[in-house]
Every structure is written in structure tokens, then in C-alpha cells.
Structure 1
């Protein structure tokens, strides 16, 4: 018999999807969060905060996507 090996998920779409979802989630969090820190009397620029949180969201989301792809690839 000619059996095909089981198909493996491609990791790049998982990483890209996780990065996009992380970008959106962290972007919304930065827009809805406070713009001042009363303890130190600092005012945050919303654009800077959006940029910083978006980069963090891209990294965290990409990492989560990579872990999910790795878990789906690993089979006993």
C-alpha cells in the first residue's frame, strides 16, 4: 500500500494570524486605557502608546501563534 504521510500545518499562517490578532487586541487596549499616570504626574501621548503596544502585541501574538503551530505539529 502507498500511504501518504499525515499532513502538517504550516507555521507561518499561524504566526501571522497571531500577530494580527495581538496587534488589534493590544491596540484597542492602548486606546481604551488611561493617558495619565497620577502617581508620577506623567501624560502619555496616545500615538506613542498605540505604537508601543502594537509592537508588543505583534510580538506576543506571533509567539502565541508559533506555540499553537508547534503544538499542532507535535503528534505522538
Structure 2
């Protein structure tokens, strides 16, 4: 009798977390690189662009998770 391991499925949280961290890093870079503009300080720009990056990165992480979860086993 042979025993087979069940197919491993990806976990959602690491995909979301990784996407959010990468998104914050990219958004923060653009926020700091631009300098103060439009009456916003560098810290405000970092916060706004970082938050936007977290949202977009988490969304992209979720899409990658769905693609990884749908692949044939």
C-alpha cells in the first residue's frame, strides 16, 4: 500500500503580507523621492504613498495567490 501526500495549497496571509511590504517600500520610495510638494511634508507624502502602496501591493498579492491556488495539482 502506498501513501500519497496531499497536495500542498498556498496560504493567503503570506501573499498579502509580502505584497503589502513590497507595496509600502515602493510607495514610500516615491513619496520620499518627490520631496515636499503641494503643501505636504515629506512625512505626509511617505504616509500617503505608503498607504496606497500597501493597498495596491496587497491586491496584487491576492491576485498572485489566486493564480497559485488555481494551478493544476
Q: TM-score, normalised on structure 1?
A: 0.81
Q: Secondary structure at the residue paired with 1:6? A: coil
Unaligned runs of 5+ in 2: none
Question: How many angstroms apart in 1 are the aligned matches of 2:44 and 2:20?
Answer: 19
- Name the structure where helix makes up a greater proportion of residues: 2
**Worse overlay, 24-33 or 4-13:** 4-13
Unaligned runs of 5+ residues in structure 1 are 37-41
Name the SS of the counterpart of 2:8 in structure 1.
coil
Query: Runs of at least 4 residues of structure 1 off by over 2 A?
Result: 1-5
More strand by share: 1
The two structures, once aligned, show a CA RMSD in angstroms of 1.5
Of residues 27-36 and 50-59 in structure 1, the stretch that sits farther from structure 2 once superposed is 27-36
Corresponding residue for 1:68? 64
- Given that residues 35 and 42 in structure 2 are in contact (C-alpha distance below 8 angstroms), is that contact kept between their aligned partners in structure 1? no
Q: Which has the higher contact order (CA 8 A, sep 6+)?
A: 1
Give the C-alpha shift of residue 34 in structure 1.
Answer: 4.4
